[in-house]
Amino acid sequence: MTNAIQDKPKDDIPVDQLSYEQAFTELQTIVGELESEGLSLDEALALFERGQELIRYCINLLDQTELKVQQILGEEIVDFETQVE
């Protein structure tokens, strides 16, 4: 499976700068590469570490409980006071 790593090698970008989508997509790519059996043990371990980082990052993002809600007021975006459920 040769999912191309595009242009810049993704493991150059610090994980916490990725969006959820980018992190998850990279994680899928990594797993695909690990499964493809072309790698040396060193390469596999490096990918595995990056994968672990991505997993921790994704889980952190999902665990956050505060939903940020705003509204448009004129030309501005301001916080929205939601009613208590």
CA separation for the pair 77, 68 (Å, rounded): 12
Torsion angles phi and psi, residue 76, rounded to 5: -100, 155
Residue 19 half-sphere exposure toward CB, CA atoms < 13 A: 2
Interface positions, 46-85, toward other proteins (CB under 8 A): 48, 51-52, 55, 58-59, 61-62, 64-72, 75, 77, 80, 82-83, 85
Q: How far apart are CA 8 and CA 77, in angstroms?
A: 35
* Span 5-44, contacts to other proteins by CB under 8 A: 19-21, 24, 27-28, 30-31, 34-35, 39, 41, 44
Residue with smaller CB distance to other proteins, 11 or 24 = 24
Instruction: Classify residue 30 by burial, with Cβ atoms within 10 Å: 0-12, 13-18, 19+.
Output: buried
Judged by the rule CB under 8 A, the positions of this chain that interact with other proteins are 19-21, 24, 27-28, 30-31, 34-35, 39, 41, 44-45, 48, 51-52, 55, 58-59, 61-62, 64-72, 75, 77, 80, 82-83, 85
